[in-house]
Structure 1
Amino acid sequence: MKQTKISDKFIFGLFVFPALAFVLFATDIPFFMNLYYSFFDWNGIGKSITFVGFDNFINIFTGDTLFWKSGLFTLRFSVFYVIIVNIASLAVALALQQNKTTSNLGRALYYIPYIISLTAIGLIWKFILGPGFDSLYELTGIELFGMSWLGDPGNSFIVIVVMTVWQTLGFYMINYIAGLMSVPQELIEAATIDGANVLQRFRHVTLPMIMPAISICLLTSLTFAFKLFDIILVFTKGGPANSTVTVAYNIYKEAFTKSNYGMATSKSLIFVVFVLLVTLIQMKITKSKEVEA
């Protein structure tokens, strides 16, 4: 019996080892290398590397205004994106669940943008809002098409939010549909018999039952918003006047444009700690709601 248990553990370890090795080499080792280089002044390529201690972190907190500006933009984008995409995707999921005849077609249509890369979507929207809208404005004279969607900071922010919501809505919709399908119909019918209207049934029956799906969607949408990079790179490049620079794009520019790898790794560590704290708070809040449900 003892030999059988040892054999089972060996086989289990044999199957788990490739995944552990991948995590070790793809995440753990790079993280600690990142931590190491954050205390140095290095361009990321040359052999010359100088230990500077906490100078990189001190410079970030005292003199790097663009980093904190990018942090505020990322935070503002995250708030708008997370709220809008979750409300919109849940509303679409509820509508598709009610209309069974067009449910499959609707799911496909809403999910198609999600399988397109953000880079391609950024290029498509850039063409639409640039030459496309210019041509429509010449033909129709409608002021909407003549507005500066890429040259105005406020308009650029709106476009980025709308574009990312449109592209990712299908993913969260599928998660919410899966959550709605797990709600026992007996509870809905019992609430209906007791006289509960549509809003009351949703508030007191459906919403508590789909809290696990809400937790997943909130977590994934939050992490997506924080690491937004592709759209900014191909769509605005941080413009106009650095008004759409995200933290991820700021770190990228620091490392690969300014060749200041040490400073970039310091920024990434600060960003990781912030994202970790926000994620833990969000998970604690949503998990407590699941327990209550």
Structure 2
Amino acid sequence: MKQKKSELLIFAMFVFPALAFVLFMADIPFMMNLYYSVFDWNGIGKDMEFVGLGNFVKIFTNDSRFWKSVIFTLKFAVFYVVIVNVVSLTVAMVMSRESKSARVGRAFYYVPYIISMTAISLIWKFILGPGFEALYDITGFEIFNWSWVGSPKLIFYVVVVMAVWQNVGFYMVNYIAGIIAVPMELIEAAKIDGAKSFQIFRKVTLPLIMPAISICMLTSLTFAFKLFDIIMVFTKGGPADSTATVAYNIYKEAFVNTNYGLATAKSLVFVCFVLLVTVIQLKITKSKEVEV
């Protein structure tokens, strides 16, 4: 009996700090979010007017900017998730070899990930501004004279490239870990059976690294949905709100327009949508996983 109590005490000592952290940093704020979403409140004053579902009705009937940000976020998520995972997996296949050049290459690809997105945004702002102007003067290539930051069409691709460039290294490391874990016996057996390189990748390697793919898909999808720092520093949602993500729209609603109640309602709608997409994505990728 004493041993069981001692084990329970030790268990509680390890688990309680984590539970307390989740409670105070996630659960309680989420419940407060639910509470504020039914009020018309500026987030500062004491006056709070109860509006019930009024904020939610306004979101679905009279908030075109929010839905414009939703469309941009979804479009960004599709492009980013596909490109970053394809590029990362391709790089990982090359960098998974045990050689000095491969180790140097891994470091080369991983360095942008450890740099803050704020710094990266400022670097890209310089490249697309004075940098491209100087290149245009030198080369005369018209591509360097395009309005990369001022054009709503071009700025979308700039944001995607920036995000992919920074995060390729992170997903590459995850894919390398999955590739290294593939049993060499299976690959050798496939070679003996006459399978070509692409057939080995499609029939052997790809199914066995599905757990890594599931993780990378989930983390890249999460990054895409909560994209904020690039937009805040690099574009400010412009030009003409063409790069405003949902996270940035919620931020502006709460802290610029001082509609805190409406902002919390938007965040709840967005959370429900993200949960739905995440569950669907996990079910699809988990169903493809195989056990060795």
Q: TM-score per shorter chain, which class? A: over 0.9
Structure 1 position 100, deviation (Å): 2.5
Structure 2 residue 203 is the aligned partner of structure 1 residue 214: no
Alpha-carbon distance in structure 2 between the residues aligned to 1:208 and 1:49: 54
Q: 1:158 to 1:52 in 2, by over 3 A?
A: same
Q: For 1:217, give the aligned amino acid.
A: C
CA RMSD of aligned residues (A): 1.1
Aligned to 1:171: 170
Distance in structure 2 (CA, Å) of the matches to 1:124 and 1:11: 49
Q: Which amino acid aligns with 1:76?
A: K
Q: Which runs of 5+ in 2 are unaligned?
A: none
Q: Which residue of 2 aligns with 1:150?
A: 149
Whether 1:111 and 2:95 are equivalent positions in the alignment is no
Q: What is the percent sequence identity of the aligned residues?
A: 69
**What residue identity is the alignment partner of 1:81?**
Y
Post-superposition shift, 1:292?
A: 7.3
**Structure 1 CA distance for aligned equivalents of residues 164 and 148 of structure 2:** 17
- Residue type at the aligned position of 2:86: I
Superposed CA offset, 1:133-164 (max 9, x none): 11221232211111100000111001000110
Question: TM-score scaled by structure 1?
Answer: 0.98
Superposition map of 1:1-293 within 5 A: 2-98=1-97, 100-291=99-290
1:34-69 CA distance string (max 9 Å, x none): 010000000101111110000000000001000001
Question: CA offsets per residue over residues 45-98 of structure 1, 9 Å max, x none?
Answer: 111111000000000000100000100000000000000000000000001124
Deviation of 1:14 after TM superposition, in Å, equals 1.2
Asked if the contact 2:113–2:167 (Cα under 8 Å) also holds between the matched residues in 1, the reply is yes
Aligned with 2:100: secondary structure? coil
Rounded Cα–Cα distance in structure 2 between residues aligned with 1:39 and 1:123:
39
> Is the CA contact (8 Å cut-off) linking 2:117 and 2:230 kept in structure 1?
yes
Residue by residue over 1:242-286, the C-alpha shift from the partner in whole angstroms, topping out at 9 and shown as x without a partner, is 111100000000000000000000000000000000000001111
Aligned length: 292
1:205, distance to aligned residue in structure 2 (A) = 0.5
Quote the offset at 1:291 in angstroms: 4.4
Q: Structure 1: which 5+ residue stretches go unaligned?
A: none
Displaced runs of 4 or more, over 3 A: none
| 1:124 shift after superposition | 0.9
Residue type of the alignment partner of 2:84 = V
Q: Which amino acid aligns with 2:93?
A: L
Structure 1 Cα separation of the partners of residues 34 and 121 of structure 2 = 32
Q: In 1, are the aligned partners of 2:182 and 2:205 still within 8 Å (CA)?
A: yes
1:159 maps to amino acid: V
Q: Which moved more, 1:11-20 or 1:179-188?
A: 11-20
- The whole-number CA distance in structure 2 between the counterparts of 1:75 and 1:145 is 29
**Which secondary structure does the structure 2 equivalent of 1:290 belong to?**
coil
Q: Distance in 1 between matches of 2:157 and 2:218?
A: 22
Tell me the TM-score normalized by structure 2: 0.98
